[in-house]
Amino acid sequence: MSIVNKIVDMYFESLSKKFLAPFLCLIILSQQSFAQTAVQSIPSPVTWKDNDNIILLHTKGMKRVYYEYNIKKGTMVEIDSPTPPKAVPTVALKSGDIIYRDLTGLEKQITFTKDAEQNPTLSPDYKYVAFTRNNDLYSIEIATGRETRYTNDGSELILNGWASWVYFEEIFGRGGQYRAFWWSPDSRRLAFYRFDDTNVPMFPIYDAAGKHGTVVRTRYPKAGDPNPEAKLGFVAVEGGDIVWANFDPKADQYFGTPYWSNNSATVMVQWMDRDQSNLVLYGVSSFDGTMREIYKEYQKTWINWISDMKFGKLGFYFVRDFELWEHIYYQSYDGSVLERLTDGMNWGIKIINIDEESSTINFTARRDASVRNDIYRLTRDEEGRRVTKLSLGEFNFTTPLISPDGKYVVAMCSNISTPSRLVLLSAAKRGVVKEGEMRVIADSKSEDFDKQKLPVTEMIYITTSEGFRLPGSITYPLNFDKSIKYPVIVNIYGGPNSTNVMDSWRTPSKNTIMWAQEGVIQVSLDNRASGHCGKEGINYIHRNLGHYELKDYIYWAKYLSSLPYVNSEKIGITGFSYGGTMTALALTEGADYFKYGIAGAGVYHWHLYDSHYTERYMDHPDDNPEGYSSSAAVLKADKYRSDKGSLLYITHGTGDDNVHFQNTIQLVDALQKAGKQFELMIYPGGMHGYRGYQGAHSDEAINAFWRKTLLGK
């Protein structure tokens, strides 16, 4: 290129930056307003005030507006605020110390220490605050300021009331913020876990910020590594000796979140062996640590934790999948009675409420269709058990609320082509809404909806050779012409029991609209293990993560390639986390069908991920070496076809404490050893998902990659 041409190019480039940037901003803003004018926000249900009135909340930007809707009059009036629940004091952290706020809003600092407190939690009677400091458990009496220390051995390795990492990530959940202590209902005792991380390998996460950088030391058990030892303890609020539950702390085991009984004497604790094939629910005495077995379950593949229990007078209600579909079960507290209450093929069951007096249970489930949640009522009487569908039509129902008298249901509903509606349904034969009718209280579909001509999205389905019917969704380009062959972006996740495709409304994002305008078909796909095919479909992945998921995505690729309007040479696939894993497999093992891909923060060898998650599906590495090898993307680098035009874009945050950056380093090394070319984008200090300027940069880079590979721009 001559110097004259360079100068000319630089001149026009400066012009484009100066004049086109505002123009592009206008395009983006018009895309956003385009979708917003087609679909408007509407109120959502908060609670029933009484049998005739519903409290609704409408969020308008930063403003929260409450309404009261009368079902008999059909009127909606704005109210200052709903009748508040029982006002309670609150606690919070400020500069590492605990701040107590009373009912008048008056704040009082109640700790004054150089070391920070964590997870301040009020007792049910609001007289005490429990918390941890330097991995020891404490409480403070609010009225007197008297502090009680319950444990004295907290350290980097001994954690009292503070969760070890694998419990935080996989069992208690990140929402718990590492808290591992629980007040009894009568506020007289605390239950807590003590974790010993001594034998858990330390994984260093390097942060390059500053002059010398720093290292975050994480006790992270990878597949096959020693897990933390765990003990369940109980202590009186005034202090004294700790009572330890009679479990063997040296056993290779896991414990679930404990549930206090109403009498504050017993805690229900889930126990699981390391293989995660055996689950036992124990009733543990908080006074002497003795245990009795209440419920026991075995599955050949693996068992999931009991995630929710609804307590009755003589027993509790819970959801299990050991019969290959989910059902609601009743278990007596003494362990003598276990009864299945539902029939059919259910998945994703969520119990709304239970009324033991009328022997009814209201719940939602994907029962009539795997892609839609419906509302059901289970009734038990002298004629037996029966399940009645309360919802109507082919819609996905969310946030259902049952009226106090059980006669009505208010909920949100939508499907893939129908924006969200707030509706009222009848659960009785007579009332203001007749049986078989659905009253629309509010509709997010604006009057201009049809004029806006949003991209059209439809459900699509394929059936595998084993008979599994799998759903997907497809968004067509604007002005779609079947005689034109379009490139395709395939969006996946693919993880076990993680549904990506539902028959529900999603207002098109600016990227969705942009790709539709630029002539790209957008597809979201699920596989047999995504939750549409019950536990039978999920069980296929046991001991060989990625194999059957990829097999199903190849089925999808063949289906898409068979469509007359799809350019089979321009199919790109993208996913993050488990989706990143599957994308790397798609461009290696599935290279005949997928040419371009963006893999974000994937696990590229399962021995690099945590013990609890990985071994649940893959078993211990010593018991399944073939499965770990056959599922590892790093061992398939030679199958990637960069020499024939394929291109893999890999992205990862260096600070990721969940899927370590180590995965991407090892994949990069394997690709380089195989002589393969690829693209790499790292985000310094980035976690498992990019935010702020890193998120904006990632979006721009991804769009540029697809324009280059799929559109030749």
What is the per-residue pLDDT across 100-144, written as a single tens digit (0 to 9) for each? 999 888 999 999 999 999 999 999 999 999 999 999 999 999 999
pLDDT bin (cut points 50, 70, 90) of residue 461 is very high
328 against 8, higher pLDDT: 328
Q: What percent of the chain has pLDDT over 70?
A: 94
User: How does the average pLDDT of the chain come out, rounded?
Assistant: 94
pLDDT at residue number 379:
96
Rounded distance between C-alpha atoms, residue 587 and residue 633, angstroms: 10
For residue 9, is pLDDT > 50? no
pLDDT at residue number 83:
62
Give residue-wise pLDDT tens across range 288-344.
999 999 999 999 999 999 998 999 999 999 999 999 999 999 999 999 999 999 999
Give residue-wise pLDDT tens across range 595-631.
999 999 999 999 999 999 999 999 999 999 999 999 9
Helices (H), 117-213: 165-170
**Across 275-300, average pLDDT:** 98
The conformation of residue 494, written as its DSSP 8-state character, comes to -
**Across 86-90, average pLDDT:** 83
Q: What is the pTM of this model?
A: 0.93
- CA 3 to each of CA 8, 15, 644: distance values in angstroms, whole numbers, following the listed order: 9, 19, 34
Lowest mean pLDDT among 86-90, 545-549, 602-606: 86-90
**Across 262-289, average pLDDT:** 97
**Across 199-213, average pLDDT:** 97
- CA 698 to each of CA 42, 81, 108, 666, 704: distance values in angstroms, whole numbers, following the listed order: 32, 41, 44, 22, 10
CB 193 within 8 A of CB 163: yes
**Across 60-83, average pLDDT:** 90
**Across 62-67, average pLDDT:** 92
pLDDT bin (cut points 50, 70, 90) of residue 645 is very high
Rounded distance between C-alpha atoms, residue 349 and residue 326, angstroms: 7
For residue 427, is pLDDT > 80? yes
The conformation of residue 26, written as its DSSP 8-state character, comes to H
For residue 82, is pLDDT > 80? no
pLDDT at residue number 33:
52
The token pair at 373 is 């949640």
How many residues in the chain?
713
The token pair at 701 is 């880079």
Rounded distance between C-alpha atoms, residue 544 and residue 332, angstroms: 37
pLDDT bin (cut points 50, 70, 90) of residue 5 is very low
**Across 511-539, average pLDDT:** 98
The token pair at 267 is 């805690």
Helices (H), 500-600: 510-517, 534-539, 547-562, 578-586
CATH 3.30.930.10 for domain 456-710, yes or no, is no
**Across 444-465, average pLDDT:** 94
**Across 241-255, average pLDDT:** 97
pLDDT at residue number 295:
97
Helix (H) or strand (E) holding 693: helix 692-710
Rounded distance between C-alpha atoms, residue 512 and residue 475, angstroms: 8
